Structure formats: structure tokens, C-alpha cells
Amino acid sequence: MLGSDDRSLCAYQRIAPSYDLIELPFELRRYRSIRPLLFRGLHGRLLDAGVGAGRNIAFYPPGSEVVGVDLSPAMLKRAARRRSRSAATVRLMEMNLAKLTFADGYFDAAVASFVFCTMPKEERLAALRELSRVVGPTGRVRLLEYAPSKTPFGQVLALVWQPWVEWAFAARLDHDIALELSDAQLRVTGSRYVTSSIKLVEAAPVP
């Protein structure tokens, strides 16, 4: 039986060649306009956790040093094609978010976009604890994640889409990451819906 890491890896290895095309409608209609929010006010050494196909790369703060990590080699190849679009220094590394190899406090901040919806709870908590560790006590963690929709129509739509989303992206749309951060030694410093079903969440390590 495949572990959850293996299922997620298999899904993204399979979908990588067509990922940009499949995701394009979502990128154009909603993701592209909200990705810059992840990086507003950030600078220095940053971690893009679950960099995927590199859709965030165009929005990295100029002059910053960004390390993008992902579990899927195929997705990292797609991200590498976008590296030249950034005014930041960009490194891409294959790595498990639950087992980061960086030293404590190595980064000034860590961001992740639509990553934790692809993980079961135990792995989410392990990865969140790792983000807390690598940003250290003065760092920040900023997340863009799906959350239960604020509208009844959105809730029904999520149920309709869920089987396909789970097959294509190994993802679920029905949990609120902000409610889990305290279990990972993170305190929420900001949380708001930026669309009817996507939240921007900011957190800091608990002293």
C-alpha cells in the first residue's frame, strides 16, 4: 500500500506534463491576482514550501534569496523553466516538507500556496512544525490555502469538484489550516478570506 507521501508524489509526477494547462483557468481567474499577497513586505532569505510548477516565482521580492522545495522532480523541472522570470536569487531543491534539511532559523520567512490541502493531518502538522523551526522565533509563515467556502453555493460546488480535485491534485478543499496552527507551535497573527473559498493566513512561531 502506498503511503500518503507516495500518493501525492505519484499524483504530481503523473500530472506534471499537463499541469500548467489543467491549472490555467484557475490561475487566470483567481490565483494570479492573490499570489503577490504571499510576499508583500517580505525580504531576505525566503522558503517557498511546495514550489510546484513555480507559479510563485514571478512574484518573489526583488533582491531576496528564495529556496523553492518540492517532493516532485517533475514539478521542479517545470519550476526551473520559470526561474529566469524572477528578480530574486532562486534555488530549487527536491525535499520533503516534513523533513527539511535546513538549520533552525535559516529563513526570514516561509510561504506556501495550496500545499497543505494535499496532505493528511499528521503530515500537515509535521510540515508546519518544520516551517516554524526553519524560520525561527522572529520569522513568519504565510499560507494561501483553500478553506470551507463562505457561501452555500461554494460549499456545494466544492463537493461536486472534490472527486476530481482529489484524483488530479491529491487535494481536499474542506479543512481550515488556520485551526491547526496551534498544534504546530504557531500562533495565527492574521487570517482572512481573499476569495470566497481561499484564505491568506499568517503565523509566527510560539516563543
Of the listed ranges 9-23, 64-78, 81-95, 187-201, the one predicted with least confidence: 9-23
Angle between helices 73-80 and 19-26 (to 10 degrees): 70
Cell of 124: 500537515
Amino acid 59: pLDDT: 96
Cα distance between residue 17 and residue 7, in whole Å: 17
For 91-126, what is each residue's pLDDT tens digit?
A: 999 999 999 999 999 999 999 999 998 888 889 999
Cα distance between residue 162 and residue 152, in whole Å: 15
178 confidence band (pLDDT: 50, 70, 90) = very high
Domains and CATH numbers, the chain: 4-205 (3.40.50.150)
Coil vs helix vs strand at 6: helix
DSSP annotation of 28: I
- Residue 69 vs residues 1, 41, 76: alpha-carbon distances, Å: 26, 21, 8
Question: How many Cα neighbours within 13 Å face the side chain of 6?
Answer: 3
**Mean pLDDT taken over the chain:** 88
Cα distance between residue 31 and residue 49, in whole Å: 17
Amino acid 200: pLDDT: 97
Element (H, E) at 201: strand 198-205
For 131-158, what is each residue's pLDDT tens digit?
A: 999 999 999 999 999 998 888 888 888 7
Distance of CA 144 to the CA centre of its chain: 7
Coil vs helix vs strand at 150: coil
Amino acid 121: pLDDT: 85
